[in-house]
Amino acid sequence: MTGTSVVIPIRGVHGGKSRLSPLLNPSERATLIASMANGVIEAVKGSGVADSILVVSREPDLFHYLGTSTSDVTLMIQPAYSIGLNAAIDLGHHEALERDSDRIMVLSADLPLLTARSVSDFLRQEASTDVILGMDRVGLGTNGLLLQGRAAMSQFSFHFGVDSRRLHREEAARIGAGFGERCAHGIALDLDTPDDWAMLSEEMRRQLLTPSYTLRHPSLGAARTAPVALLERA
């Protein structure tokens, strides 16, 4: 066994967070997406509990837009025929199993309050509980999911999206896995709507909209980046 793998699906920087369009223009939303993804990766790295960090994206140039060091991070390219969030997570999950991980954590990439302490606290869960869910602030979704033990890791199917808290609870029951839930600080707030945006301080909003990198479309030239391991799954 090789420890803990953390899977972070990031569809891409451009064109997302459309529900925030009444408040933010496309450039601001792209900056926001990159800032939050950067923050999640840095929080996981800072926690010191991840033996591998697997970022899954459709965007080969993703790390050009993130202001994070890409050392010890693997970028997996989601192919065109692999559609949707759960398919992206499945790619990372499969790679974590290939690496013989003994724990697999899935984290949303849009958690603006996530800290290294949030990650380490969530991962310090009872080893006897096979599936531990970090719910969103309204109690319907899943922002973090921890699988422990070979049976749970190999048999569990992901159901991120609408009503995912209930679906994941039912999935754990289907495979006979122990199930626990947490409303964890730093994990509960995912940023999708104007109401979510309103929950952030003015300082936090300013930080999220201030890029620590050069945000440029690939056709306009490459932005600053560090070397990264590229793993394309067919």
pLDDT of 231 over the 60 cut: no
CA 32 to chain centre: 15
Report the alpha-carbon angle 105-145-16, nearest 5: 90
- Residues 144 and 160: their CA atoms lie apart, in Å, by 10
Helix axes 26-47, 116-123, angle to 10 degrees: 50
| Residues 52-105 pLDDT 10s | 999 999 998 888 888 666 678 999 999 999 999 999 999 999 999 999 999 999
3-7, 121-125, 183-187: segment of lowest average pLDDT = 121-125
The per-residue pLDDT for 70 is 66
The one-letter code for the residue type at 101 is S
Q: Whole-prediction pTM value?
A: 0.88
Q: Please give the domain boundaries of the chain with CATH numbers for all domains.
A: 4-232 (3.90.550.10)
Q: How confident is the model at residue 223 (pLDDT cuts 50, 70, 90)?
A: very low
Closest C-alpha to 191, from 12, 37, 6, 26:
37
CA distances for 65 relative to 37, 68, 97, 187, angstroms: 10, 9, 28, 23
